[in-house]
């Protein structure tokens, strides 16, 4: 396949390279590439896919220009778990900690 064949079927040589990388990761990352037009026309469906965990690359004229990916949801941590973690944490001397910080970081950098 020459560059002319690739350009006609995929869009550009840069996209071909990107698509090869994408294909190598698609097995575990759930990545799909869509066009700007598809995003515009099918935005609700695209956002449902993203919400379901899929990463979507948006391309314009065959060149990737953006990535839509799910946001990691904040997980609620019960107060009891925080209290338990704090109880098991190492104790520090606040004054000594401050002195150690001051020894390596100038507390007044603009004086």
Residue 17 predicted with pLDDT over 50: no
Band (35; pLDDT cuts 50, 70, 90)? very high
pLDDT of residue 64 exceeding 50, the answer is: yes
- Residue-wise pLDDT for 38-48, tens only, equals 999 999 999 99
Q: Take residue 9 and report the two structure tokens written for it.
A: 């079927």
Burial 23-34 (b: 16+ CB within 10 A, else e): eeeeeeeebebb
Q: What is the pLDDT of residue 109?
A: 72
pLDDT class of 2 with cuts at 50, 70, 90: very low
Confidence band of 4 (pLDDT split at 50, 70, 90): very low
Longest CA–CA span in the chain (Å) reads: 69
**Is 21 exposed, middle or buried, given 0-12, 13-18 or 19+ CB atoms closer than 10 A?**
exposed
């Amino acid at each position: 396949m020459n560059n002319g064949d690739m350009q006609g079927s995929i869009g550009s040589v840069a996209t071909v390279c990107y698509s090869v990388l994408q294909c190598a990761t698609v097995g575990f990352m759930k990545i799909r590439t869509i066009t700007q037009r598809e995003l515009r026309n099918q935005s609700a469906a695209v956002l449902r896919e993203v919400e379901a965990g899929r990463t979507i690359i948006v391309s314009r004229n065959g060149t990737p220009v953006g990535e839509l990916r799910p946001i990691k949801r904040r997980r609620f941590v019960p107060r009891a778990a925080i209290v338990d973690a704090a109880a098991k944490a190492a104790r520090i001397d606040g004054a000594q900690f401050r002195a150690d910080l001051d020894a390596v970081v100038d507390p007044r950098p603009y004086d």
